[in-house]
Amino acid sequence: MIIILWRVFATLSALLVVAGFVVAVMLENLIMIDMPITKADHAIVLDGNNQRLLRAKELLDQGLVTDIYVSNGEPAHPDEIERIVAELGYVAPDRTGIKIEILKKLGVAPEKIIVFGQGSLTTRDEAKALAMQLNGQMPRLTLVTTNYHSRRALEIFERALPGVSIQVTCPGGCVAPVAWWKDPSIAAQFILEFVKHIYFRLGLSVA
């Protein structure tokens, strides 16, 4: 009996190792999508990493978009700590305002910058907010996000905006760095995104 249990344990362990290896090898394709970019109407800059603003400016300069939509990811309701900080006289910077100022510093005309959403906390919130703002319009969109977030972001926006032409781009391309698994912080980020992708596939709420 002990020998049988040991064999079962050894087999399951081997299968887990193989499965882990396969996932690691395929992880880039599972969470990222790199596509050629064609001309669109709007660049949609998702909240998170301000490097995305630089990519949006590149698209504008190249004539691949006519304007830049900036996600308003400011929390709609400040929490208790933020209220205490405000009472102490410290004012937290307006992250959306900073993004607008960065774009203006880069030379983007104010009329080319459009803010959408109000306190969007997740990619789904951003997609719903943009759908509401477009109000039935069917423009061509270029999402601007980060490599590890590209595939899920594209699928979320496609679900929220059925029939709308949507493509995705990233600073430096929607591809993984060479030997990314050697960097613990990048590897952890990729694995977390893989878990989020599973939750998304299961229809569960995820950022």
Token couple for 136: 């039935």
The number of domains in the chain is 1
Nearest alpha-carbon partner for 124 in 50, 179, 71? 71
Q: How high is the pLDDT of residue 124?
A: 93
The residue type of 56 is A
Domain containing 140 equals 33-177
Evaluate whether residue 18 is within a structural domain.
no
Evaluate whether residue 206 is within a structural domain.
no
The one-digit pLDDT tens for each residue of the chain (207 residues) are 666 555 544 444 433 433 344 445 568 888 999 999 999 999 999 998 999 999 999 999 999 999 999 999 866 566 788 788 888 988 777 889 999 999 999 999 999 999 999 888 899 999 999 999 999 999 999 999 999 999 999 999 999 999 999 999 999 999 999 889 899 999 999 999 998 888 888 877 666
Evaluate whether residue 96 is within a structural domain.
yes
Q: How high is the pLDDT of residue 14?
A: 35
Evaluate whether residue 55 is within a structural domain.
yes
What 8-state DSSP symbol labels residue 37?
-
Q: How high is the pLDDT of residue 31?
A: 92
For residues 190 and 165, the answer to whether their CB atoms sit within 8 Å is: no
Evaluate whether residue 192 is within a structural domain.
no
Handedness of CA 136, 62, 44, 165 (dihedral sign): positive
CATH number at residue 100: 3.40.50.620
Evaluate whether residue 182 is within a structural domain.
no
Evaluate whether residue 88 is within a structural domain.
yes
Evaluate whether residue 131 is within a structural domain.
yes
Residues in Cβ contact with 168 at an 8 Å cutoff, skipping those fewer than 6 apart = 33, 35, 142, 143, 144, 145, 150, 151, 153, 154, 174
For residues 156 and 196, the answer to whether their CB atoms sit within 8 Å is: no
